[in-house]
Amino acid sequence: MDFRYEFLGWPDDGPTIDISHERFAYAGKFILPGTGKAIVRSSQPGSHPIKGAVAFNDDRGVQNAARIRYITVSESTRGRRLGPKLALFVQDQIIGQPYSLVRIAVNNPIAYEAMYRAGFYYTGETRQLNEVVLSTDALLSPSKYKTGLQTFDKADLPDRQVRLIDRGMDRGPPEKIQYAFNKVDNQTYTGQRIK
């Protein structure tokens, strides 16, 4: 399947995305203005076009930082690493203008692992509701990766997530995906794996 990445606008532009709550987690958050947004869509005829979305704005706690507020991928494309690719796309679009780094708080091991693949690493900071803070300016450290994984309470997690924690503790951090984006038009890009 061929995908196109689109940068829809900055927080001040107030772009909105109307996506199905049946296909996407956090769908209602993308209708609201006040965050910048980007999407990944299928270019395949006959399929539902939007496959993933990300919303971001200023991180009020860190100067010159953006914070990814929500990232979601449709059920039908899970496992294709669209979440990390979308996070990489947003980094590519906003770092250097006006942000110098991007942060995200995740609340489960699947999101934690996915964002490590996009170059977000554990800062040592946790937030309410058992959220672990990752940042593009944090250093990659196997011990810190494992410390971050251990913050998730296995007793409250489904078996799949417990297995992911166990694998991560044995293996260490996953490799960052190497991905490049090529401009098609003013707001649309294709993605290509490097390596």
Q: How far is Cα 29 from Cα 12, in angstroms, rounded to an integer?
A: 16
* Beta strands, E only, the chain: 3-9, 36-42, 50-58, 65-73, 101-106, 121-127, 131-135, 179-183, 188-193
pLDDT > 90 in the chain, percent: 78
Residues facing 29 on adjacent strands: none
Q: How confident is the model at residue 77 (pLDDT cuts 50, 70, 90)?
A: confident
Structure tokens at 6: 């689109």
Q: How confident is the model at residue 76 (pLDDT cuts 50, 70, 90)?
A: confident
Q: How confident is the model at residue 98 (pLDDT cuts 50, 70, 90)?
A: confident
Q: What is the pLDDT of residue 21?
A: 87
Q: How confident is the model at residue 1 (pLDDT cuts 50, 70, 90)?
A: low
Domain count, the chain: 1
Q: How far is Cα 15 from Cα 36, in angstroms, rounded to an integer?
A: 7
Expressed as residue numbers, the domain containing 34 is 3-193
Structure tokens at 87: 């996070």
pLDDT tens-digit readout, 119-162: 999 999 998 878 999 999 999 999 999 999 999 988 889 999 99
pLDDT tens-digit readout, 24-64: 888 899 999 999 999 999 877 666 689 999 999 999 999 99
Mean pLDDT of the region 98-102:
95
Q: How confident is the model at residue 97 (pLDDT cuts 50, 70, 90)?
A: confident
Structure tokens at 14: 């107030």
Q: What is the pLDDT of residue 46?
A: 63
Q: How far is Cα 97 from Cα 42, in angstroms, rounded to an integer?
A: 27
In the block, residue with structure tokens 């979601």: 72
Cα torsion for 79, 142, 108, 74, to the nearest 10°? -20
Mean pLDDT of the region 95-110:
94
CATH number of the domain at 96, please. 3.40.630.30
